Chain A
Amino acid sequence: DIQMTQSPPSLSASVGDRITITCRASHIIRHYLNWYHQKPGKAPKLLIYRASSLQSGVPSRFSGSGSETDFTLTISSLQPEDFATYYCQQSFSTPFTFGPGTKVDI
């Protein structure tokens, strides 16, 4: 299985901050990397697919980059609705696997 790691596990930030979350895959996954966020009691929501493509309807303050094994998610100006847990996920091979999550709070 491809193992996904994320850093940091959690971070505290303020509205308007620029934040970056990193994700690393244990094997080369090319650009097959997606980002989701999840609020308590809700389903995850797709933000970025194939490393850098913005999902329809997602604000442009979200951006993704990277390839092969190292990836980043950046939020350019944190908004109140962005406080959530963020997960990366590889779709290069089955079993599809997720990172452990990064909790973003105030």
Chain B
Amino acid sequence: QVQLQESGPGLVKPSGTLSLTCVVSGGSMNTGQWWTWLRQPPGKGLEWIGEVYHSGSTNYNPSLKSRVTISVDESRNQFSLKVTAVTAADTASYFCASLSNGRSRFDNWGPGTLVFVSS
């Protein structure tokens, strides 16, 4: 079973760019999973941000698509998230997760990282 771990700054200034990385350990990234990012504002529900395949193919949530880029570096067993033009509404815990078995379920999750957007 793979393990995932998010990393990145915990504080980003408004209008800046949020950048996070997820390292995948205990397995290869080219075993059929899609690698995804999700987020959860404090005290609120979960939102799927988007996903990347090991080949580099991506899908994004239309609500965020204009500001989000997800990329993969298979040689380093990691994938990344960038969100541009952030506002306080982007303050959230950000999770990386694997989407497995024909993109049917999020079966492995990182512990999450809390990112504040504030000046």
Name A residues whose Cβ lies closer than 8 Å to a Cβ of B. 1, 32, 34, 36, 42-46, 49-50, 55, 87, 89, 91, 94-101
Chain A nearest CB: distance from B104 CB in Å?
Answer: 5
Bound state CA distance, A97 and B46, in angstroms? 8
**Known interface pairs A43-B95, A43-B111, A43-B112; A96-B48 also in contact (CB < 8 Å):** yes
Name B residues whose Cβ lies closer than 8 Å to a Cβ of A. 45-48, 59, 61-63, 95, 97, 99, 101, 103-107, 109-112
Pick the contact of B109: A44, A55, A100 (CB < 8 A). Answer: A44
Pick the contact of B111: A42, A49, A94 (CB < 8 A). Answer: A42
Q: Is the CB of B104 within 8 A of A91?
A: yes
**Known interface pairs A43-B111, A44-B109; A97-B48 also in contact (CB < 8 Å):** yes
Pick the contact of A91: B46, B59, B95, B103 (CB < 8 A). Answer: B103
Q: A43-B110, A46-B105 are in contact. List 11 more A-B contacts (CB 8 A).
A: A43-B95, A43-B97, A43-B112, A46-B106, A49-B104, A55-B105, A89-B46, A89-B106, A91-B103, A98-B46, A100-B45
**Known interface pairs A34-B106, A43-B110, A49-B104; A95-B61 also in contact (CB < 8 Å):** yes
What residue in chain A is nearest B59 (Cβ atoms)?
A94
Question: A46 to chain B: which residues have CB within 8 Å?
Answer: 105-107
Interface centre among B46, B61, B105 (most CB of A within 10 A): B105
